[in-house]
Amino acid sequence: MDIIYARGHATAAEVRESMPDPPTDAAVRTTLRALLEKGHLRVARDGRRYDYSPTVPRAAASRSELEHVLQTFFGGSTESAMTTLLELGGEDLSRDERARLKRLIDKATGEGR
């Protein structure tokens, strides 16, 4: 899915070529078929090739996955998730990024979130 989101759409061969340590063609096609059956992808025929594209915009999929991670690994605790994120990469934040995050937190607080 990462490859297809990054490219916007891709054939099975393009997906495989984009992988650092690709599995067999059959494994890639099996995975794409499973994603298609689950409704994560749509397919359009382009001559002899099948061109796959996501059914859900990346932003919506990201939000859904983050909500799942929040529930699964952090018991729904935004504080725990944010603490972990800051521990993982907090030193990488610029002064401007920290200020923006503080403004977002202050805004959410003002809105009762």
**CATH architecture entry for 2-54:** Orthogonal Bundle (1.10)
Q: Per-domain residue ranges for the chain?
A: 2-54, 58-110
Which pTM does this prediction carry? 0.67
Q: Where are the alpha helices (DSSP H) in the chain?
A: 2-7, 12-18, 25-37, 58-74, 78-89, 95-110
Least confident of 11-15, 86-90, 95-99: 86-90
pLDDT digits (tens, 9 = 90+) for 39-66: 999 999 989 999 999 999 999 989 989 9
**Residue 21 backbone phi and psi in degrees, to 5:** -135, 75
Positive or negative torsion for Cα 103, 105, 110, 113: positive
